[in-house]
């Protein structure tokens, strides 16, 4: 396999999680009696451009299908994050009723609803029918397509170049990152701005966030690598913010390479931090598997111990990161009888691979578990606040990443 960006041969394994089903391929009752599709889940690091990437097996259209079950609006903290961003970027760029905003992977309209409310013209690009339909009900125009250079050229032909292109947690999801970036350049007005948010590879390594690895994430990104990808496409990064979302993310601000705007000091600061953390040192990447195995083993040991003690354990959040953890650890319903999730689209289904049933959070008070494992640790404060009554009843909350913690 060659690097998806620079085409150099890939020789160095960063992480090997064995085989797993696609993390958002939730199962119906009928599916439990059918064969389940598994893919290798292995990451390589490119020694030339330092792009960390999955082994090339799963195809995008198998991962993001019409029944895709992730709806961004389920999380109130994410809705709040999106609303704050829209207010900030509208002021920063002076957006108004004459502007054009395009969001790539607009999901269920969690973000663009704010532009609609402000009467700023916007367009969502979203390939999954289930989430696109939800956005359209909010009055958001949506193109049900995968984004790339070809689609961008169609938008240009229709006179729909953008003053602002947004991509939140999509850059890591695209199999052809060069084509996607070329599409951003084509769809951007000469003085336009791109903002992309993505989990920061430096934080993934620092906090042992191996459960954020799944087939839908083709790339694991550092600022140094994204600068290189942008430069090849005729773009450049002029600002960057470090965000707490998803365990530590970057929001980058990009423009055409020739645009007359100076880069902020934040860009050099993040690049320097990545160098200090060893993101250009192969030893940093080779050491990660041991850290991931230790976190997995500790969590599995905790569940086995609670079973022996006769304690009742449940989980909250049927998230993709939870599926990675459960499948790598080989956890089944005998150790974790059920997972609760607020998304109605997941309730009544089963977790891929582990076949753990997904229930409504309404059952938690009656079930009264001794321990509630919060699988999406990035929203732990939100989940604990929502389940304060459980704590009053004696339930203890547990997270497994970066290490086992009872909170």
pLDDT for position 61:
53
Strand (E) or helix (H) holding 20 = strand 12-20
- DSSP, res 400: -
Least confident of 60-69, 275-284, 359-368: 60-69
- DSSP, res 169: S
Query: In Å, how far from its chain's centre is CA 314?
Result: 24
Q: What's the maximum distance between 2 C-alpha atoms anywhere in the chain? A: 66
pLDDT for position 71:
76
Reported as a single tens digit per residue, the pLDDT across 119-131 is: 999 999 999 898 9
Section 393-403 average pLDDT = 96
Least confident of 49-63, 151-165, 282-296: 49-63
- pLDDT tier at 68, thresholds 50, 70, 90: low
More confident call, 21 vs 72: 21
Closest CA to 279 of 366, 220, 333, 344: 220
> At residue 89, does pLDDT exceed 70?
yes
pTM of the model: 0.91
pLDDT for position 76:
86
- pLDDT tier at 110, thresholds 50, 70, 90: very high
- pLDDT tier at 66, thresholds 50, 70, 90: very low
- pLDDT tier at 59, thresholds 50, 70, 90: low
pLDDT for position 190:
97
Phi and psi of 277, rounded to 5°? -80, 0
Strand (E) or helix (H) holding 238 = strand 235-243
Reported as a single tens digit per residue, the pLDDT across 195-236 is: 999 999 999 999 999 999 998 899 999 999 999 999 999 999
Write down the mean pLDDT value for the chain.
Answer: 94
> First and final CA of the chain: distance in angstroms?
43
pLDDT for position 63:
55
Section 263-269 average pLDDT = 98
Q: Are 17 and 324 in contact (CB under 8 A)?
A: yes
Section 76-102 average pLDDT = 96
Distance in angstroms (rounded) separating the CA atoms of residues 52 and 43:
7
Reported as a single tens digit per residue, the pLDDT across 185-201 is: 999 999 999 999 999 99
Reported as a single tens digit per residue, the pLDDT across 317-358 is: 998 999 999 999 999 999 999 999 998 989 999 999 999 999
Phi and psi of 340, rounded to 5°? -100, 145
Q: Which domains does the chain carry? A: 72-285 (3.40.50.150), 299-406 (3.40.50.720)
């Amino acid at each position: 396999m060659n690097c998806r960006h620079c085409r150099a041969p890939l020789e160095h394994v960063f992480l090997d999680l064995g085989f797993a089903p696609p993390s958002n391929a939730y199962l119906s009752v009928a599916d439990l009696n059918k064969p389940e599709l598994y893919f290798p889940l292995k990451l390589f690091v490119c020694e030339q451009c330092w792009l960390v990437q999955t082994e090339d097996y799963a195809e995008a259209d198998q991962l993001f299908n019409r029944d895709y079950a992730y709806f961004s609006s389920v999380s109130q903290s994410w809705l709040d994050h999106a609303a704050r961003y829209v207010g900030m970027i509208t002021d920063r760029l002076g957006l108004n009723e004459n502007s054009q905003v395009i969001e790539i992977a607009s999901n269920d309209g969690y973000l663009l609803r704010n532009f609609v409310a402000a009467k700023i013209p916007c367009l969502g690009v979203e390939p999954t029918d289930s989430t696109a339909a939800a956005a359209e009900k909010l009055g958001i125009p949506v193109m049900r397509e995968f984004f790339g250079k070809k689609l961008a050229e169609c938008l240009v032909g229709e006179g729909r170049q953008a003053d602002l292109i947004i991509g939140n947690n999509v850059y890591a999801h695209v199999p052809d990152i060069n084509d996607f970036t070329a599409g951003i350049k084509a769809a951007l007005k000469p003085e336009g701005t791109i903002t992309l948010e993505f989990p920061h590879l430096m934080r993934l390594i620092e906090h042992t966030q191996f459960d954020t690895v799944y087939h839908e994430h083709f790339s694991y990104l550092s600022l140094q690598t994204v600068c290189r990808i942008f430069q090849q496409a005729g773009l450049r990064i002029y600002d960057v913010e470090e965000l707490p979302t998803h365990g530590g993310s970057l929001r980058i601000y990009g423009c055409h390479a020739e645009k007359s705007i100076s880069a902020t000091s934040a860009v050099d600061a993040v690049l320097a931090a990545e160098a200090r953390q060893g993101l250009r040192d192969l030893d940093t990447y080779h050491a990660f598997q041991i850290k991931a195995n230790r976190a997995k083993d500790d969590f599995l040991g905790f569940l086995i111990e609670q079973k022996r003690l006769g304690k009742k354990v449940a989980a909250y959040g049927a998230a993709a990161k939870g599926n990675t953890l459960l499948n790598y650890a080989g956890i089944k319903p005998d150790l974790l009888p059920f997972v609760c999730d607020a998304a109605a689209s997941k309730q009544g289904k089963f977790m891929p691979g582990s076949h753990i049933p997904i229930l409504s959070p309404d059952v938690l008070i009656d079930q009264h578990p001794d321990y509630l494992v919060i699988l999406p640790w990035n929203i732990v404060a939100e989940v604990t606040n929502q389940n304060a009554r459980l704590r009053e009843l004696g339930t203890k909350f547990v997270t497994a990443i970066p290490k086992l913690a009872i909170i």
